[in-house]
Amino acid sequence: MKRILITGGAGFIGSHLCSFLYEKGFDIICIDNLITGTKDNIAHILEEKNFEFIQHDVTKYIDIGGKLDYVLHFASPSSPIDYAKFPIQTLKVGSIGTHNALGVAKAKEAKFLLASTSEVYGDPTVHPQPESYWGNVNNIGPRGVYDESKRFAEAITMAYHNTHGLDVKIARIFNTYGPKMRKSDGRAIPTFIEQAINNKPLTVFGDGSQTRSFCYISDMIGGLYKLMNSDMNSPVNIGNPDELTIIGLTEKIIKLTGSKSKIEFKKLPVDDPRTRRPDISLAIKKLGWRATVGLEDGLKKSIEGFKGNEGR
């Protein structure tokens, strides 16, 4: 049985990954300090024989007994609300936390997968964004704490690969959504769904012409699993390239929820990206992966999850 350490395993993507890999027959160790995650996300497997939860801050020394085959590093606040609230913790988990996770992987001779982000591209001047694009990031802006923590995490991950020969994978994760997202997450889809369900105004920042691409959680997990088992060591974009405006997204959510909500416009935040769309040519070529869940189907499942209190 393969044994996997997942940091940030009680978060949104991390908990789905825990569930998926547990069902695949892996022995799972989940670490999370619960500042943005919750044990509710893993409650269905929390008491299972081959699943262990450890409440721990990965910026502190990580001590795991026995062998490990994989270390999957997903620990980090990941929404603008979270990293505005926890800027120092965000920087520390991307730097010290990644260093500690890499140290475990090196000591155990385990494969290492870093959950990086499309935010390494900042407010892109190249569209769509390929892995070869170096980005347009304001390192001292309000989003810089997250952007630069992940850019550093990628740099140290590649340094471990080049210096120590560690088998590493780097997933540049684009906007992902689905059940188990927090209602207070602050990102577009959970915010709009929660507002629409309660017939509150949908708050759109700017004029709503900015574009995003949204990947349903099951597609994301499938892409991560393929990357985890690949021979790729350089970064790979994982996301859905279907692009739409924020206004277009609000219209879809209002229609699908049958909401009476109106749209309320607010000032665009500093450094908010105007466009965001992955070039997934590398994922298609090297992983044989592409997203298959359409936005409407994914939104329906997400709305059902929120109504069933799978969001919090």
What span, in angstroms and rounded, lies between the C-alpha atoms of 72 and 6?
5
Q: What is the pLDDT of residues 130-157, one digit of tens each?
A: 999 999 999 999 999 999 999 999 999 9
Residue 304's identity, in one-letter code, is: E
pLDDT of residue 75: 98
pLDDT of residue 59: 98
Element (DSSP H or E) covering residue 172: strand 168-173
Catalytically annotated residue among 146, 160, 177, 216? 146
What span, in angstroms and rounded, lies between the C-alpha atoms of 206 and 188?
13
CA distances from 14 to 19, 44, 136, 197, 207 (A): 9, 14, 27, 26, 33
Q: What is the pLDDT of residues 252-297, one digit of tens each?
A: 999 999 999 999 999 988 888 889 999 999 999 999 999 999 999 9
Average pLDDT over residues 25-46: 97
Sequence-distant contacts of 54-58: CB under 8 A, at least 24 apart = 54/29, 54/30, 55/31, 56/31, 56/32, 57/33, 57/97, 58/7, 58/8, 58/31, 58/33, 58/93, 58/97, 58/100, 58/101
For residue 225, indicate whether it is catalytic: no
Q: In percent, how much of the chain has pLDDT > 90?
A: 92
Query: Burial level of 5, CB count in 10 A (0-12/13-18/19+)?
Result: buried
Average pLDDT over residues 196-215: 94
Among residues 137, 177, 170, 150, the alpha carbon closest in space to that of 306 is found at 177
Instruction: Supply the DSSP symbol for 178.
Output: -
Take residue 275 and report the two structure tokens written for it: 């466009």
From the CB of residue 256, how many other CB atoms can be counted at a distance below 10 Å? 15
CA distances from 234 to 33, 144, 171, 207, 226 (A): 29, 23, 9, 36, 14
Query: Is residue 310 pLDDT above 70, yes or no?
Result: no
Query: pTM for this structure?
Result: 0.95
pLDDT of residue 309: 61
Among residues 27, 25, 28, 26, the alpha carbon closest in space to that of 10 is found at 28
pLDDT of residue 311: 46
Asked if 10 and 32 touch (Cβ cutoff 8 Å), the reply is: yes
Mean pLDDT, rounded, of the chain: 95
Take residue 75 and report the two structure tokens written for it: 């620990």
Asked if 8 and 59 touch (Cβ cutoff 8 Å), the reply is: no
Q: In percent, how much of the chain has pLDDT > 70?
A: 98
Query: Is residue 298 pLDDT above 90, yes or no?
Result: yes
The domains of the chain, with CATH numbers, are 3-176+216-239+278-292 (3.40.50.720)
